[in-house]
Amino acid sequence: MKFWNFLNSPNIYFKTGPDRWRYMLSSILFASIFIIVFLPQFADDEEKVMAKIHIILPKGIMAISLSILLGQLFSQFLLPKLFKFRPKQLKGLLWVFLIEVILITTLFDYSENIFFYHVDHDDCYIYNSVIIDTLFLYTSFVILISYPFIGNLLYQHIHNLRTTIDGLEGELQHIKSHYAKLANQNPGRIEFKDENGQLQFSCEWAKLLYLKSDNQYVEVFSECDGKLVKQVVRNRLKNILDLAPEGPLVRSHRSYAVNMMRINQLKNQNQKQFLQLDSNTEVLVPISKTYLNELRQVGLSK
């Protein structure tokens, strides 16, 4: 189910010209290195191949490079323009990949007849059966092109994630400075009342770190003399946030609210995002995608 959801996720890859050219060049480079390293092992008689390596190797690199260049030019540039086909989901991108591999393999199969016209083919093939040779060739190209394909997906994913994080950190600093100015102008305290409206305790905004909901209770974390202090009040998190609508407390998760004045940076850990707070002890507050978008809107509106 998770894999299917992943395939149905929006396609954000290979959208720009530089991304597509990077994919094409990395595919050609990877395939060329593959030919150089493994070509002798794909022959019936390694000694014969090594004797003709000065002829076979350059032609092999030229054949595979030209096939990849033409195949990926079609799939990455001409296919979207001619057929208006721009995959919106990752599963659509996989269909483009399969079309691309079939086209590259077919081009390579034909290019062999051109580049290796004067070369004894028996020295270059593993099998004598056309069907087995064809199946082996297509399977080999699926595996071969999948490496640069997956590598470029990971590169673009990490790059997009890093760009998003950098943007969010800038917005978080903007929000933090905004609430810090408010706190300097009006340094007050927040009062924590129970569900009956009775005051239990209060805390300075500058010392408050975050709130955590625990069923019918809310755990209030603050910093006093460099130490993390926890106090508990019987109330709902929503009710407490409603008592200070103009304050720097912003919900970051279904069970957490954070003091925007104490945010240091956005941090990734175990594929999850956290807000690292400005504290003597390391404090990480989880932030969900839903509240991350709301937090961005708060930042843009300040």
Reported as a single tens digit per residue, the pLDDT across 100-140 is 999 999 898 887 666 654 445 444 444 445 566 677 788 88
pLDDT over 90 for what percent of the chain?
A: 22
* Span 74-89, average pLDDT: 81
In-domain check, residue 181: no
* Span 84-100, average pLDDT: 82
pLDDT at 191: 87
Give the whole-angstrom CA distance, residue 204 versus residue 153: 47
Amino acid identity, position 232: V
Pick 145 or 298 by higher pLDDT: 145
Give the whole-angstrom CA distance, residue 284 versus residue 253: 12
Helix, strand, coil fractions of the chain, as percent rounded to 5: 60, 20, 20
Question: What is the phi/psi pair of residue 29, to 5°?
Answer: -65, -45
Q: 145 and 232: one domain?
A: no
Do residues 254 and 237 make contact, with C-beta atoms less than 8 angstroms apart? no
Q: Would you state the structure tokens that stand for residue 195, as one six-digit string? A: 């569900």
In-domain check, residue 168: no
Q: 11 and 154: one domain?
A: yes
Residue whose C-alpha is closest to residue 212's, from 289, 302, 277: 277
List, for residues 237-287, the tens digit of each pLDDT value: 999 888 877 778 888 899 999 988 888 888 878 778 888 888 888 899 998
Where does a domain end: 115, 147, 162?
Answer: 162
Q: 142 and 263: one domain?
A: no
Q: 116 and 203: one domain?
A: no
Q: 156 and 221: one domain?
A: no
pLDDT at 302: 47
Give the whole-angstrom CA distance, residue 100 versus residue 89: 17
In-domain check, residue 136: yes
Structural domain count of the chain: 2
Q: How many other C-beta atoms can be found within 10 angstroms of the C-beta atom of residue 79?
A: 17
Residue whose C-alpha is closest to residue 79's, from 105, 106, 67, 97: 97
Do residues 31 and 64 make contact, with C-beta atoms less than 8 angstroms apart? yes
In-domain check, residue 115: yes
Give the whole-angstrom CA distance, residue 30 versus residue 296: 40
Q: 151 and 221: one domain?
A: no
- Whether the predicted pLDDT of 62 surpasses 80: yes
Tell me the pLDDT band of 296, cut-offs 50, 70 and 90: low
Strand pairing class (208-214; 256-259) = antiparallel
CA pseudo-torsion sign 295, 296, 298, 302: positive
Q: 67 and 121: one domain?
A: yes
- Range of the structural domain that residue 58 is part of: 2-162
Q: 150 and 20: one domain?
A: yes
Do residues 26 and 148 make contact, with C-beta atoms less than 8 angstroms apart? yes
Q: 30 and 144: one domain?
A: yes
Q: 142 and 193: one domain?
A: no
Q: 111 and 225: one domain?
A: no
Q: 85 and 46: one domain?
A: yes
In-domain check, residue 121: yes
Where does a domain end: 127, 162, 197?
Answer: 162
In-domain check, residue 171: no
In-domain check, residue 179: no
- The lowest-confidence range among 37-46, 68-77, 289-298 is 37-46
